[in-house]
Structure 1
Amino acid sequence: MDFVRYAERSAGLVNADLEDVDAVVEILGHQRAWLHGQVVDRDATALRRFQRELRPVFEASNTGDEHRVVELLNELLAKHPVTPYIAGHGARDGEEADWHMHVADRQSSVAELLVAESLMGLSTLVCDLGATRLGVCDATPCDHVFVDTSPNQSRRYCSDRCSSRANVAAYRARQKAAAQ
C-alpha cells in the first residue's frame, strides 16, 4: 500500500468539485477504471460531506496545531470505520499470490473506499512524517489543500502554477515599490 499516495489523493478529493457522478469518475482516473461503473449519486453526496469534514484537518495542520490534527483524524476514523483485508491477486489461478492490503472490504461503496483510503493515508502520513505535513495554498485567491512530502517541509503552494503566480506577483510588487 502506498499511503503517501492515498494522502495525496485525499488532498485531491478535498480540492475536487464533486458535483455529480461524472466528477467522481474523473477523480478515480484511468488507474481505477474498474470502479467507474460502480459510482452512484449517493457517492458524490457522501464525498461532498466528507470534503467538509476533512478540510479542517488540513487547516489545523497548516496552522501547526498537531493535537487538533490528530483529534480530528481520530474523530473521522471513529465516524468512518476502516475495514481492511488482505488480498492476493493470482492466488486463485495457482500462481504465487501478490499479498497486499486493501483498506475497504469488497462490499464498500466507492465513497467508502475513497474515505478509507484518505483516512488511512493521512493517518499513516501523520504517524510517519508528522502532523504538520498538510497545508492550505498560500497563493491568493487559491484555497486548495496539499500534502507536503518535501524533505525540509517547505511547501507553501498547492501547485507549480500557484507558486509561479505568487512569485511573479511578489516580484512585480517589489518592482513597483522600488520604482516609487
Structure 2
Amino acid sequence: MDFVRYAERSADLVNAELDDADALVRLLDRRRWLHGQVVERDAMTLRRFQKELRPVFEASNARDEASVVEQLNALLAKHPVTPYIAGHEPGKWHMHVADRSSSVAELLVAESLMGLSTLVCDLGATRLGVCDATPCTNVFVDTSPNQSRRYCSDRCSSRANVAAYRARQRAVAQGAQA
C-alpha cells in the first residue's frame, strides 16, 4: 500500500468539485475500474466527507498537532476501515483498505483516512497545508524533505511569486519617485 499516495488523493478529494457522479468519475480518471461502480450517492457522501476532512488540513496548516490527531481519530471512529489481505498472484500478498462490498465512497474515505493517519504517524501532524496563494483555498500534502511547501501547485506558486515580484517593483518605483 502506498499510504502517501492515499494521503495525496485525500487532498485531491477535498479540492474536487463533486457536483454529481460524473464529476466523481472525472476525479477517478486514472482508476477506470471504479467508473462503472460510481453512483450519485457516492458523490453526495463524498461531499459531506469533504466538509469533515478539510478541518484536518486547516488544523495541520495552523500547526495544531493535537487537533489533527483528535479529528483524524474521530473520523476513523465515524468511518470504520475494513482492511483485508489480498493476493492476485500466489505468494504476493498486499492490503486493501476496504472490503469488496464497499461502495466507491467508502473506498475513497478509507483510503483518505488510512493515508492521512499513516502520514501523520510517519512524517508528523504538520505535513498538511492550505495554499498560501490568494484567492486559492486548495489543500495539499507536503512530503518535501524540509517541510517547506506553501502552495497547492506550481501554478499557484508561480502566480504568488510574480505578484510578489511586481509588488517589490512598485515599491522600488514609488521609493524612487519620493
Q: TM-score range by the shorter chain?
A: over 0.9
Structure 2's unaligned 5+ residue stretches are none
Q: In structure 2, the residue corresponding to 1:141 is in which secondary structure?
A: coil
Q: Tell me what 1:8 maps to.
A: 8
1:1-180 equivalent positions in 2, closer than 5 A: 1-30=1-30, 32-90=31-89, 96-180=90-174
Q: Percent identity?
A: 83
Deviation string for 1:1-55 (max 9, x for gaps)? 000000000000000000111111111122x211100000000000000000000
Structure 1's unaligned 5+ residue stretches are 91-95
Please identify, of 167-176 and 17-26, the stretch whose mean Cα deviation from structure 2 is larger: 17-26
Q: Aligned equivalents of 1:155 and 1:53: distance in 2?
A: 23
> Structure 2 length as normaliser, TM-score?
0.97
> Structure 1 length as normaliser, TM-score?
0.96
Deviation string for 1:104-130 (max 9, x for gaps)? 000000000000000000000000000
Q: In structure 2, the residue corresponding to 1:127 is in which secondary structure?
A: helix
Q: Aligned equivalents of 2:146 and 2:48: distance in 1?
A: 33
Moved over 6 A (4+): none
Q: In structure 2, the residue corresponding to 1:150 is in which secondary structure?
A: coil
RMSD: 0.6
The aligned length equals 174
Q: Aligned equivalents of 2:95 and 2:29: distance in 1?
A: 21
